[in-house]
Amino acid sequence: MKRKPVLLLYCQHSLGIGHLRRSIEIANALVRSFRVVFLNGGRFPEAIARPDGIEFIDLPPLGMGADGILVTRTKGHDLAHARITRKELILEQFRNLQPAVLLIELFPFGRKKFAFELLPLLRLAQRAQLKPLVLCSLRDILVDGRDDQQHFVNRARWLTDRYFDAVLIHTDPLFCRLEESFCPQRPLATPLFYSGFVAARESGGEPVAAAPGLVVSVGGGQVGANLLHAAVEAQPFVWNRFTLPMTVVAGPFLPEEEWRLLEKAAQGREGLTLLRSVPGLRSLLSHARASVSQCGYNTVMDLLQVRTPALLVPYSDAGENEQGKRASKLAALGLAHILPEAEVNPQNLLREIGALLQFTPTPARLDMNGTVNTHDIIVRLLEDRWTNREEGHGEVA
């Protein structure tokens, strides 16, 4: 049997779990043609399955604190030690595997705090005897409200053109295009490929015992406590007015003290179910009458597929504007309602939930085949690389 070429995938999730979920979906599609080695840089939640066929290497986990500062997620390990260990492990894996494809999620369009390990990796790839195909895996919309925005995008453009062979953008270009949130002074020379949206597969898991009514969720949970508390506070009024059960999904990264406060507030509440985390939201959402959530990429993919009426509360702290942009586009297409994060309180939630129960989303006519398309794009690019080498047109340095 012919051995599959190695694809080394780097993914760093820092606040939520959307980057991790999307990268796993992509990796799971790629195992058909590649030996996929997955470098995981953040905490790996127990609720997320590790699919067979993907080789996971867990780096000492790092993440971002609420103040935007890089922190270690391993007790007893300092940041400096974690950084050194991670860089050495990443470079060692590259040397041992000699991958045909290096797929890096988000960088250099984000994750600049991880340049300490990614720039050495990119330089090593560039010096390799058989230079791998170097690709960037990018979500639909980028954050573009930084204080140093123009300097940041100019440098990201320079790094992309210097080290990357192509950028794969996981969206339908009819929904958004890269230039809407990435405007360097000189245009990118690196080829761009739009894959369509990457939608998660059904998670399997336990069947839904009863219709959950209203589902409230905040992705990983690290930054969603205010919405969860407001929903729990509003729940008796929702129940009395609409007799609508509410299921609240906290997320695996919700701080433990916040979870305990939710449990205390929920005691004895008729029609209220609290879940610490679930393998995937889609099963719940497919049985729900309505959803209240933030506007992360993966939650939106689930909502678009099951067409559950949705109230979106986009996360907007720490200069993050990506979710707000995504929510505005969805609302303009008639796919969801929006409640700004600053306006979240029990009274406003009650009003918006009432309106949501009368809302029918417009059918989404968007490309949702991003996993298959990503696989096909990468295979085609690699075949072109190999063909050029055989014909003597490629660089083998």
pLDDT in tens, 313-322: 999 876 678 9
In this structure, the number of other CB atoms found within 10 A of the CB of residue 65 comes to: 12
Q: What is the pLDDT of residue 304?
A: 93
Mean pLDDT of 241-264: 95
State yes or no: pLDDT of 240 exceeds 90.
Answer: yes
State yes or no: pLDDT of 395 exceeds 50.
Answer: no
Q: Are residues 40 and 142 in the same domain?
A: yes
CA–CA separation, 269 vs 13, rounded Å?
A: 35
* pLDDT tier at 234, thresholds 50, 70, 90: very high
Closest by Cα among 315, 20, 338 to 143? 315
State yes or no: pLDDT of 212 exceeds 80.
Answer: no
With vertex at residue 25, the alpha carbon angle to CA 301 and CA 219, rounded to the nearest 5 degrees, is 50
State yes or no: pLDDT of 396 exceeds 90.
Answer: no
Closest by Cα among 52, 110, 68, 20 to 318? 68
Give domain status of residue 228, yes or no. yes
Q: What is the pLDDT of residue 280?
A: 81
Sign of CA dihedral 250, 251, 257, 259: positive
Q: Are residues 373 and 352 in the same domain?
A: no
CA–CA separation, 141 vs 324, rounded Å?
A: 10
Beta strand 62-64 with 54-58: parallel, antiparallel or unpaired? unpaired
Domain span holding position 74: 6-199+368-390
Span of 51-60, 203-212, 234-243 with lowest mean pLDDT: 203-212
Taking each helix axis from N to C terminus, what angle separates 115-127 and 79-97, rounded to the nearest 10 degrees?
20
Give domain status of residue 105, yes or no. yes
Q: Are residues 187 and 294 in the same domain?
A: no
pLDDT tens for residues 67-103?
Answer: 678 888 877 778 999 999 999 999 999 999 999 999 9
Q: What is the pLDDT of residue 73?
A: 81
Q: What is the pLDDT of residue 319?
A: 67
Largest CA distance in the chain: 74
From residue 107, give the alpha-carbon distance in Å to each of 42, 89, 167, 397. 15, 18, 10, 24
Give domain status of residue 117, yes or no. yes
Q: What is the pLDDT of residue 236?
A: 97
With vertex at residue 106, the alpha carbon angle to CA 171 and CA 195, rounded to the nearest 5 degrees, is 25
Give domain status of residue 133, yes or no. yes
Q: Are residues 93 and 66 in the same domain?
A: yes
Q: Are residues 181 and 224 in the same domain?
A: no
State yes or no: pLDDT of 148 exceeds 90.
Answer: no
Q: What is the pLDDT of residue 74?
A: 77
The DSSP secondary structure of 19-30, one letter per residue, reads: HHHHHHHHHHHH
Give domain status of residue 320, yes or no. yes
In the chain, what percentage of residues exceed pLDDT 90?
78
Q: Are residues 224 and 349 in the same domain?
A: yes
pLDDT tens for residues 347-373?
Answer: 999 999 999 999 999 998 999 999 999
Give domain status of residue 343, yes or no. yes
**Bridge-partner residues for 37, per DSSP?**
8, 55
Closest by Cα among 167, 150, 156 to 119? 156
State yes or no: pLDDT of 210 exceeds 60.
Answer: no
Give domain status of residue 362, yes or no. no
CA–CA separation, 175 vs 346, rounded Å?
A: 32
CATH of the domain at 267: 3.40.50.2000
**Total domains in the fold of the chain:** 2
Reading the block at residue 215, the tokens are 């589902």
- Reduced to 3 states (helix: H, G, I; strand: E, B; else coil), residue 228 is helix
More confident residue, 246 or 64: 246
Q: Are residues 185 and 277 in the same domain?
A: no
Distance of CA 38 to the CA centre of its chain: 15
Q: Are residues 174 and 60 in the same domain?
A: yes
Q: Are residues 143 and 225 in the same domain?
A: no
pLDDT tens for residues 155-172?
Answer: 999 999 999 999 999 999
CA–CA separation, 19 vs 305, rounded Å?
A: 19
Beta strand 246-249 with 214-217: parallel, antiparallel or unpaired? parallel
Arithmetic mean of pLDDT over the chain: 91
Radius of gyration of the chain (CA): 22
Mean pLDDT of 61-68: 78
Reading the block at residue 339, the tokens are 């409640």
Q: What is the pLDDT of residue 182?
A: 94
Compute the CA torsion angle 209, 213, 219, 221 (nearest 10 deg): -90
Q: What is the pLDDT of residue 1?
A: 58
**Residue linked to tokens 């991790």:** 20
Q: Are residues 284 and 183 in the same domain?
A: no
pLDDT tens for residues 261-294?
Answer: 999 999 999 999 999 988 888 989 999 999 999 9
Give domain status of residue 396, yes or no. no
Q: What is the pLDDT of residue 318?
A: 62
CA–CA separation, 143 vs 65, rounded Å?
A: 17
**Residue linked to tokens 């209240």:** 292
State yes or no: pLDDT of 203 exceeds 60.
Answer: no
* pLDDT tier at 222, thresholds 50, 70, 90: confident
Integer distance in angstroms from the first to the last C-alpha of the chain?
A: 29
State yes or no: pLDDT of 394 exceeds 50.
Answer: no
Q: Are residues 195 and 233 in the same domain?
A: no
Distance of CA 287 to the CA centre of its chain: 23
Q: Are residues 193 and 144 in the same domain?
A: yes
